[in-house]
Structure 1
């Protein structure tokens, strides 16, 4: 219990009553024991992947996936039609470097804002889209400003909000609105609210279009060599307990289930990914 109490203080976690606290402690204890066993079994192996206690350690696997792996929960061609975007939007082929460099890291070029925290809201789709807009603004105009994910949640017309969405729907809103306000002026509250129209006319981040990258690593590398790129990845059980190293695993059979949207900010042998969960 002492370990759990320290964890609660570190992560500023509170519960409505003792019964819920006991339930969460039971989940935490089971996860703690499982992590200890896994790391012990990994000793002496070549894998660098390591599990550890983190901000998700009082959540069940079902709770974790429902929040952080719900960013693509349906066929996007069905979803995007309500936003007036043709699902056959252009596929990027020749816009990027013909031969991608051996390695690149846009963090070194100041094209990436600090990692943010989406909280208990399935808004990774909005975070990844906004991060891509931030990277585009930094690359094209030398402006490195943290933009508003909350504006996307409140104003894009995505009724699901914290239950998942698509980056292209977020891009479409940015284009239709003429841009995004800053995070400072339209702050994140980790829940969908009513659009504050008094804050939507200030445009600190703009894009004029977007394209889909062909689904292969070579074209993805060419795109990332141009700017940071949002992608959806399959999320398995290992993500919840991730502490460090390289997590290897297969892809989900269902392309629209258990997806988390992230931003690829570089590569060099292995892709470098910045997460939105903080």
Structure 2
């Protein structure tokens, strides 16, 4: 009986050892993945000067891991040349990021007033020919990339960026204008809680113009309206909603200047560089979350693209810009194209 017990114990140990050997590589791989991810997280902290409390650090590390997994899925699904992965937002949850860097007013509202749509009076472009490449930055018509910081004010940045460029094209004078004026003085919109470009244009017309940024500096929070008409630098007489057709948008941009557009920004959080070409299901056009400025277009290796100025600082994307596929209505960027008509 004793000998039988030893034999049974030996067999049981052998089975357990065999099972451990079979599971070992998977557990080992999982541990190695975690170690590698920890190493990437340390690089991220050093690159972006991140410093956390002990408990907060573990939470941010877990968020970082989730974001890297999401970036990997985006990479697998994207059909363009875009590269996704670690950037300065990699320790932010989707909820935090959406609240700080997207447009809460748009994100929570599926209803778009008629003011956002083109009308028959806006007309149709008949001559759609134009150059193969256009980049208004090379003409000196685009100010430097700005940073909205943790404030859902992209609507103000997209509006002001358009006016800056259109003012230059008409007057050959590039002036950095104030977004803070809109945050404080636009009574139709909601400062860091979001807004709409058509309201912003209306507010600027009502106020009488836009001041320089240096005279009305950005604080990333709503304050008391300090607009001074004597300090106005640029004025607009109206705005125009363009038809939601990319070929017409291309022709308009080539002849007249940059265009403000509204997009679904889901592909931007983990973006690093290249041409974004997401699937329809990944970036649906019926969820508008972000306002940006198209400054040009081109084509590379059979990939036609738009060049778009963002407002998340020059240390994001392609020096503050991103490219997205042109001709497939990617992320709904064709839905609400608009531009100022300057004095």
TM-score normalised by the shorter chain: which range applies?
A: 0.7 to 0.9
Query: Residue 218 of structure 1 aligns with which residue?
Result: 247
Higher helix share: 2
* Deviation of the 1:175 alpha carbon: 1.0
* Deviation of the 1:60 alpha carbon: 1.0
In 2, Cα distance between equivalents of 1:210 and 1:151? 18
Query: Residue 194 of structure 1 aligns with which residue?
Result: 224
Alignment counterpart, residue 55 of structure 2, candidates 3, 7, 19:
19
Provide, for residues 1-51 of structure 1, a one-character-per-residue CA deviation record: whole Å limited to 9, x for no partner: 665455345435455x54333322321244346657876x69xx9742211
Structure 2 residue ranges without an equivalent (≥5): 1-37, 299-303, 314-343
Alignment counterpart, residue 277 of structure 1, candidates 312, 318, 334:
312
Contact 1:146 1:182 in 2 (8 A): yes
Contact 2:103 2:155 in 1 (8 A): no
Provide, for residues 80-110 of structure 1, a one-character-per-residue CA deviation record: whole Å limited to 9, x for no partner: 7xxxxx9776753258965333321101101
Query: Residue 22 of structure 2 aligns with which residue?
Result: none
Give secondary structure in 2 for the equivalent of 1:270.
Answer: strand
Query: Residue 105 of structure 1 aligns with which residue?
Result: 135
Provide, for residues 95-150 of structure 1, a one-character-per-residue CA deviation record: whole Å limited to 9, x for no partner: 89653333211011011011111111111110010000001110001110110011
* Deviation of the 1:156 alpha carbon: 0.8
* Deviation of the 1:165 alpha carbon: 0.9
In 2, Cα distance between equivalents of 1:33 and 1:98? 42
Query: Residue 152 of structure 1 aligns with which residue?
Result: 182
Alignment counterpart, residue 84 of structure 2, candidates 51, 63, 82:
51
Instruction: State the TM-score, normalized to the length of structure 2.
Output: 0.68
Query: Residue 234 of structure 2 aligns with which residue?
Result: 205
Change (3 A) 1:135 1:95: farther
Change (3 A) 1:70 1:107: same
Change (3 A) 1:123 1:219: same
Query: Residue 67 of structure 1 aligns with which residue?
Result: 100
Contact 1:96 1:222 in 2 (8 A): no
In 2, Cα distance between equivalents of 1:165 and 1:38? 28
Structure with bigger gyration radius: 2
Higher strand share: 2
Contact 1:49 1:244 in 2 (8 A): yes
Contact 1:49 1:246 in 2 (8 A): yes
* Deviation of the 1:184 alpha carbon: 1.2
Structure 1 residue ranges without an equivalent (≥5): 81-85
Query: Please, which moves more after superposition, 130-139 or 168-177?
Result: 168-177
Tell me: higher relative CO, structure 1 or 2? Use CA pairs within 8 A at least 6 residues apart. Answer: 1
Contact 2:208 2:229 in 1 (8 A): no
* Deviation of the 1:163 alpha carbon: 1.8
User: When the two structures are aligned, how many residues end up with a matched partner?
Assistant: 265
Q: What root-mean-square deviation, in Å, do the aligned CA atoms of Structure 1 and Structure 2 show?
A: 3.0
In 1, Cα distance between equivalents of 2:128 and 2:67? 47
